[in-house]
Copies of this chain bind each other. A is one copy, B any other.
């Protein structure tokens, strides 16, 4: 990718981000990271999620296309919110997921991409890697905490209340740990140029 192509891609990504902001489609918890990365020469952010708790109904394992989101929370939740969302369930397996933040970042050079991956890993985003090295260099930044637990089938929850509370507690911990990592990452991104 030459510099002109990179600059066009960055311009277009920043425009999409602006649109997303105006539609309030950017998780505010992650906007500081987006700003910090876009400020650095040689990078732009293309998509992001600050981490979330999801209640998903899915016909069979791995079948993402057939999945229905019954609840999405970009924050810690209470058990009663989960059980309320579960009343919308109809057919298939019900999964509770807690997902760490995920970010896609475009980079001008492989050297920069490698440096960004190492920075992210050092802040606890251990699942970070260069996803594409072809025409566009794309990094994925992600960490490893997660919960993926089936909790019901065909509209009925399997679990007792105490067990659901525990699952919610652990899901909330995934969110809280994610917030801390985001804080560390923002701090380190502020000094990114010093390391180059």
Contact = CB atoms under 8 A, between A and B. Distances in A.
Interface of A: 61-62, 93, 110, 113-114, 129-134, 140, 144-150, 153, 158-160, 162-163, 166-167, 170, 173-174, 177
B129 A113 contact: no
Say whether chain A's binding surface is mostly helix, strand, loop, or mixed.
mixed
Contact of A110 (B61, B133, B167): B133
Among A62, A114, A147, A153, find the residue whose CB has the most chain B CB atoms closer than 10 A.
A62
Indicate how many identical chains form the complex. Answer: 2
Contact of A61 (B149, B158, B173): B173
Contacts of A110: 110, 133
A164 B153 CA distance: 14
